[in-house]
A = this chain, B = another copy of it.
């Protein structure tokens, strides 16, 4: 523990470099040069390059998951063990979106690292994401409490689509900005959260065949 400085210097430098230039472009030699430590120190402290990336990602995603569960728990306790569906969805996508988007967040190394992890999805990160299912089950359960009458399959699709909209917005900020010629404001995080929650809530609370326009709008219960 005498020189824990080396370990944290590697973590700090790696997070910044990966955030700036991506996983493919940054070598261990770049990292140790920026951290001003020896090359072998990475292997000594983390075992391998992949484990270094995994440690960075686990730290940040554990924090997000904790925030999500805190929001959910607070909402359900306030509602006597049951929260409205839009509040549950807000607890699911809010922390992630707030952590990755927004004007000043753009400068945080941690935020930019998580965006990068979302875009590039290298093997060590994919491996960790696959273990996320247990965490999501808690939200599926809360959604079931919020909408006890809804078909279980529809709930899973609703959860899946809510995460899809949130993650794609983080991942593809640039494309939406270009496509809309800057008209879609990606800096107003709260407005984005509202949009995602609203669409997912609507999909989960509208009964099949109720739309006023389309002839075959079956919402979540298709076919």
Contact residues of A with B, CB < 8 Å?
A: 22, 24-25, 84-86, 119-123, 126, 129-130, 132-133, 136-137, 140, 152-153, 156-157, 159-161, 163-165, 167-169, 172, 174-176, 178-180, 183-184, 188, 190-192, 194-196, 198-199, 201-203, 205-206, 211-220, 222-223
Chain B: CB-nearest residue to A167: B168
| Residue from the list B132, B157, B167, B198 in contact with A164, Cβ < 8 A | B167
**Is the Cβ of A86 less than 8 Å from the Cβ of B217?**
yes
A123 cross-chain contacts in B, Cβ below 8 A:
22, 24-25
Task: Look across to chain B and name the residue whose beta carbon is closest to the beta carbon of A175.
Answer: B133
The reply to whether B191 and A217 contact each other, CB–CB distance below 8 Å, is no
Q: Closest 6 interchain pairs by CB?
A: A164-B168, A194-B222, A191-B223, A156-B180, A199-B203, A86-B214
The minimal Cβ–Cβ distance linking A154 to chain B, given in whole angstroms, is 9
Least Cβ distance of A116 to chain B in Å?
11
Number of copies: 2
Across-interface contacts of A175 in B (CB, < 8 A): 129-130, 132-133, 136, 160
A169–B199 Cα distance when bound, in Å, is 17
- Indicate if the CB atoms of B165 and A161 lie closer than 8 Å: yes
How distant is A195 from chain B, measured CB to nearest CB, in Å?
A: 5
Q: Is the interface of A mostly helix, strand, loop or mixed?
A: helix
Report how far A196 CA is from B215 CA in the complex, Å: 15
The residue in chain B whose Cβ has the minimal distance to the Cβ of A164 is B168
In Å, the complex CA distance between A54 and B156 comes to 35
Query: Which of B165, B184, B205 is A165 in contact with, Cβ under 8 Å?
Result: B165
> Known pairs A152-B180, A164-B168. 9 more at Cβ < 8 A?
A24-B122, A85-B214, A120-B120, A129-B175, A156-B176, A161-B168, A195-B222, A198-B222, A202-B206
Are B199 and A161 touching (Cβ within 8 A)? Answer: yes
Q: A132-B175, A161-B165 are in contact. Are A205 and B199 (CB under 8 A)?
A: no
